[in-house]
Amino acid sequence: DAGVIQSPRHEVTEMGQEVTLRCKPISGHDYLFWYRQTMMRGLELLIYFNNNVPIDDSGMPEDRFSAKMPNASFSTLKIQPSEPRDSAVYFCASSPPGVAYEQYFGPGTRLTVT
């Protein structure tokens, strides 16, 4: 079975550019989470969705970050404009109905903003 799919795996962009990260959750899962991982701050939850509806976006750093989930099989995390401090690995995770805490992670997108 396919796990969580993320694209691209690596992204290098210049400061000020728009960046869009993509995620396809596991089929049948109704929770989707976006995390950011850095050496300094570890794994941080940015936002999560349930049944395509954003439930908690309190972890989104600032207005430059936005996330959407137009349907059950696709989500995007957008950064506009990007800054060097946004450099990190961004993970998408999904979980089955009723067990939001059993999260299955994608391979991540390593973002470098120069």
Please count the residues of this chain forming the interface with other proteins, following the rule CB under 8 A.
20
Q: Of 57 and 68, which has the nearer Cβ to other proteins? A: 57
Give the integer Cα–Cα distance in Å for 103 and 95.
5
Mask 65-104, x = binds other proteins (CB under 8 A)? Answer: --------------------------x-x------xxxxx
User: Residue 15 CA to chain centroid, in angstroms?
Assistant: 19
Question: Is 31 near other proteins (CB under 8 A)?
Answer: yes
What separation in angstroms does the CA of 107 have from each of 3, 60, 63, 76, 110? 9, 20, 26, 15, 9
Q: Of 31 and 65, which has the nearer Cβ to other proteins? A: 31
Tokens of 97: 């109905």
Give the integer Cα–Cα distance in Å for 91 and 70.
18
Residues that bind other proteins (CB under 8 A): 4, 31, 42-43, 45, 48, 50, 55-56, 91, 93, 100-108
